[in-house]
Structure 1
Amino acid sequence: MSKPCVLLDVKDRIATVTLNDPERRNPITGNDMIEALLETFAKVQADPEVSVMILTGAGSAFCAGGDIKEMNDPDSVFRKEPLAAAQSYVDGVQRLPQAIYNLDIPTIAAVNGAAVGAGCDLTMMCDMRIASEKAKFGEVFLNLGIIPGDAGSWFLLRRLGHQLAADLTFSGRMVEAKEALDIGMVLEVVPHDTLLDRARERAAVIAAKPPRAVRVAKRLMRNAERMDLPDFLNSAAAYQALMHQTEDHHEAISAFIEKRKPNFTGR
């Protein structure tokens, strides 16, 4: 029996999702990685016992992106008639950014090694990034004569701004962990052996918050990216009115007044 491409562990309201094809540096093509990730993200989204997700890679790499050997195969989807090839992107890798974007929980990429091409974009799809000192990032599509077909440009512009996104896209250069920190690609760089522990520490802070409020706050941030101010304010008012009716909100107020730790139940 073959090993699963993706591992899922849920503990203390934290879902840890691991890309698990380490021998090939966790590519997202040439295997069942895309479907496995989509299935896993759906499970995480539907689980009320999950408040935050960590995404990481097994072995020495985070994700090598697309399988270059498959791109060289004359029978692969990459060599199809253009309309068919375009549809394969729509039906395949482009489902990943939509799935991650639509998650109602915060997401943390724990980048354990190289994140290249679609792997780099996968980190950008997450809300936050923590890097091992061994991590490196590369928006390398132009080096191969292709462009980011997985929404990488959309996320890169929003995470880094136009100038930095342009530099990384047009140069196709690799960014080491220290530079990634300097330019704001990652929140912090930590010793390699402590990466998951540090990611879980950050995740635990989120997991300790009222579960419904966490998910609604994530939706509100998503709305802020695409709404103008009047519509956004209406959305915030409606969400806030709902939050005032939750038992966790009432518990938080009581705990504050009584100077004790709150006990949140997700109701």
Structure 2
Amino acid sequence: MSELLFETQGGIATITLNRPDSGNAFTTEMLADWEAALRECIASDAIRAVVLTGAGRIFCSGGDVKRMARNAASGQTAWERGQYLVNHVHRIPLTVLELDKPYIVAVNGAATGAGMDMALMGDLRFAAASARFAESYIKVGFVAGDGGAWMLPRLVGTPRALEMLWTGDFVSAEEAERIGLVNKVLPDDQLMSHTMAVAERLASGPTVAIRLMKRMVRQGATSSFPDALAFAASCTGVVAGTEDYREATTAFAEKRKPVFKGR
């Protein structure tokens, strides 16, 4: 079977990491398929929301430690290791940065190391009650190589991020929700139904406004307040010219539910 499953239905694309017997650890082939799936999500106007999850009982265990050990034993150099990250692993977060559509992560089990970092890239994160999170790099004498040291402090603050990075200890789903690492914790059997309901709501909403708001939030993280206001004014001008805006205002006046077309 494919190491990554990709399907689209009703404006929603679902990406499923599919190596359950190996904790959905990355392979070069999986990463290539993952990037290709994300590229399709970026390019296709028919796709309005994207969901990421893992097959089986583990969301993602990150890099394949056994493969890493074999590479080290075979004489892989530090330069080669760094290049592998740049040429393969880093392609995922960099491509996600290009995606201005909702990217929702359903964490169905343990998310460790680079697997946790991949979860952090979601705009929204929902976790099963059985999910656990660990920046486990330190357990194998490694450093966070997939963006965790940049993303985690922005979500939970520097002291808590350093605690997780330095200890590699697990954080429960309940604790993850308390510290703002995930949006909501669901019973295991309700995780995907809840995630898909949120995805469906976003996919059926005013697409241009949703995408521009994501761009506004991202730009606001690195810009001054006056620059953010200027960008907001530009986005307002764009949205005001959409069919969905006209439909929404008309529906409001007519006291009915709007029907959005995504344009």
Q: What is the aligned-residue RMSD (CA, Å)?
A: 1.5
The worse-fitting range, judged by mean Cα deviation, of 150-159 and 67-76 is: 67-76
The residue that corresponds to 1:13 in the other structure is: 11
1:170 match? 166
> What corresponds to 1:102 in structure 2?
98
Q: Secondary structure at the match of 2:89?
A: coil
Aligned counterpart for 2:185 among listed residues 178, 189, 193: 189
Map of 1:253 onto structure 2: 249
Q: Deviations over 1:115-168 (max 9, x none)?
A: 110011111011111111111111011111110111111111112121211111
Which moved further from structure 2: 6-15 or 163-172? 6-15
In the alignment, which of 227, 234, 248 is matched to residue 230 of structure 2? 234
Residue 131 (structure 2) pairs with residue 135 (structure 1): yes
Distance 2:97 2:71 in 1: 33
The TM-score, its normalising length taken from structure 2, stands at: 0.95
Q: CA deviation at 1:252?
A: 0.6
1:222 maps to 218
Q: 1:15 corresponds to which letter in structure 2?
A: A
Task: Name the aligned partner's letter for residue 12 of structure 1.
Answer: G
Which residue is equivalent to 2:259?
A: 263
Q: Give, as a single letter, the amino acid of the residue that structure 2 aligns with 1:67.
A: D
* 1:243 counterpart (233, 239, 243): 239
Q: Percent identity?
A: 38
Superposition pairs of residues 6-155 of structure 1, within 5 angstroms:
6-29=4-27, 31-74=28-71, 79-155=75-151
SS of the equivalent of 1:32 reads helix
> For the Cα contact (< 8 Å) 1:6–1:19, is it kept in 2?
yes
1:4 corresponds in structure 2 to: 2
Unaligned runs of 5+ in 2: none
User: Structure 2 counterpart of 1:130, which letter?
Assistant: F
2:126 match: secondary structure: strand
Paired residues of 2:205 and 2:262 also in contact (CA < 8 A) = no
Q: Is the 8 A contact 1:70 1:76 kept in 2?
A: no
Unaligned runs of 5+ in 1: none
Q: CA offsets per residue over residues 42-97 of structure 1, 9 Å max, x none?
A: 111111122211110001110010111011114689x5222232222111111111
Q: 1:187 to 1:76 in 2, by over 3 A?
A: farther
Aligned pairs, how many? Answer: 263
Which residue type is aligned with residue 241 of structure 2?
Q
Kept in 2, the 8 Å contact 1:53–1:203? The answer is yes
How far apart, CA to CA, are the structure 1 residues paired with 2:51 and 2:107? 10
Q: Given that residues 24 and 59 in structure 2 are in contact (C-alpha distance below 8 angstroms), is that contact kept between their aligned partners in structure 1?
A: yes
TM-score between the two structures when normalised by the length of structure 1: 0.94
1:164 counterpart SS class: helix
